[in-house]
Structure formats: C-alpha cells, structure tokens
Amino acid sequence: MIQLKNDILTVEISPVGAEIHHVIDKNGVERIWQNESGAWDSHTPLLFPIAGAIKDDTWYYEGKPYKMTKHGFVRRETFEVEEADESRAVLALTGEKMKHDGYPFDVELRVIYTLSGNSVIVDYKVTNVSDKEAYFSVGAHEGYACPGGIEKYELVFPEDDELDQTLLNGSLLRHETAAWKLDNHVLNVKPEDFKNDALSFLSAKSRVVTLRAKDGSRSVTVDFNGFDTLFIWQKVGEDYLCIEPWCNAPDFEDADQQLVNKPGMMKVEKGESRKVTHTLTFE
C-alpha cells in the first residue's frame, strides 16, 4: 500500500487498480467501505475507458467492432508507482498494460492523488502517445462507509430542488425518468431504492454532493466539476453508499454503439494530455 498521511487523514492506496482502500480520519475512524459482509469486494474502483455498460458489450470505431465489458478493464491492472511521498502519489498504467482488444487507442493513464488538509484531490490524466486522435472516458466509484445503514445518512445537493432519475433496464438506460423532490436540497434514500440497481442522475445542476450523517457526526463532500453524470449506488441493505461521478453515462437501449458518438467520451489529440479532477473532503 502507498500511504499518504497528515495530522487529519491517513490514506492508503493499492497499486492494483490505483484504488483507495482506506481513509482513516483523525479520530481513527475508517471512512471507506471495508466489505465486512462480503457483499461487494471493492472499495473505490477506477472505471476506464468507460463507466457503465455499452449495448451488447460492443462499440464500433472506424467500422470495426470492439468488445468492452461494463466499467472497462483497468481496475484489475497493477499500476507503476512513479512518485510517492506523504502528500502525493502518482500511479501510471502504460505500455502493454494499457493495451486491450476492446480499446483501439494507445494512451497512458496516470492517477494522481494529493492529500491537502482534510481533502483528497484525485486527478485522472490521459496522454495520447499514438500518431492519431484517441478517445476515453473515466468514472469514479468510491464506496463510503455508513455505519448503522444508509437511513441514518442523507445526501445534500446544494443547487437542486428536484432530481430526474433516468431509469435503467438492466445495465442500460431507458428513455424514462422518475422525479425526486428534495427537501431543502436534501435527498433521503432507503435500501429498497436500489432494488433495480443504481440511481442515475444525468442532469443534476449540482457539481458537488455531500453525504452526511443525520446526527452530524461525519460527512464527506465530493466535488466533481467536469464530470457529466452522477450515480448513487449500494448493494441493497449494506452499510455503505457509493457516490459515482462519471464523465459518460451507460448506453441507452437504442444507442448506435459508435464510440465517437457516445456522450461523455473525450477526445485527446496525438501527443497531448487531458485531465479531469474530483475532490473528496472529509469532516
């Protein structure tokens, strides 16, 4: 594990998937889901080069089909640790580890973690090392521990009074929505709200959301400016909630499956880099 540490937080990151496994606050309290029940064996997986599913697990580029399963392929790969000290770590996936039969581009991926006070800044940097344009998307999937169950917590959307959830059919989106009325910008969720998988918010105004205990004992705020889509998810009845900012959304049921037409895919020209950032602040 790579450890970032100051007098407020201790963060431990695995090179496998460049995944945060632990965030321990100054009171010694673990803030990340630890899979005590065995229900979900991840902590904060990185989704690349897509988040969510594509229709028939297939997309097309320049007339050729490419197979890509849900959430992409990098979360099981071991990243190289290029830099690491107590405040910053750079993990890189390059060369053969970035080659995949379902991804027709030659890029390098770096995940940069910076610990600043009570915040963890996460940068995803993609560099095109080929001689043609490349496309990618990225998604975060952090699971936050909710001791006592999610009914004891609430989600705060500072710019929204109502949220439109785009409904899912399996892993694909339907052209149907359900409205969630917020109470003073607060969304309360229950385990049964996740019986059909995640809550998909494609048009939320807020680009920051706070998960906080109703008794005021703890909170985490996720700032995700630059990400188009927000998913909220848990395995029904478990003591965690995932806040998932994604650059793209899953395919709709009638998607044309053309990679370059997929909303949220970002283009990076040859020899150039693009970066997206989100920040996790723990109280």
pLDDT higher for 59 or 226?
59
Q: What is the pLDDT of residues 228-250, one digit of tens each?
A: 999 999 999 999 999 999 999 99
pLDDT band at 23 (very low <50, low <70, confident <90, very high): very high
The alpha carbon of residue 152 and the mean position of all alpha carbons in its chain are separated, in whole angstroms, by: 23
CA distances from residue 179 to 161, 164, 203 in whole angstroms, order as listed = 11, 5, 12
pLDDT digits (tens, 9 = 90+) for 172-220: 999 999 999 999 999 999 999 999 999 999 999 999 999 999 999 999 9
Per the prediction, the chain carries an average pLDDT of 97
Question: Rounded distance, CA 181 to CA 115, Å?
Answer: 35
Look up residue 58 and give its two tokens: 């297939």
Q: How far apart, in Å, do the first and last CA atoms of the chain sit?
A: 24
CATH class, domain 2-282, is mainly beta
Q: What is the pLDDT of residue 16?
A: 98
Read off the pTM. 0.96
CB 153 within 8 A of CB 212: yes
| For range 91-101, the mean pLDDT | 96
Q: What's the pLDDT at 99?
A: 95
Q: What's the number of CA atoms in the CB half-sphere (13 Å) around residue 222?
A: 23
Q: Residue 46 in 3-state DSSP? A: coil
Tokens for 247, please give them.
């650059």
User: How many other CB atoms are found less than 10 A from the CB of residue 17?
Assistant: 24
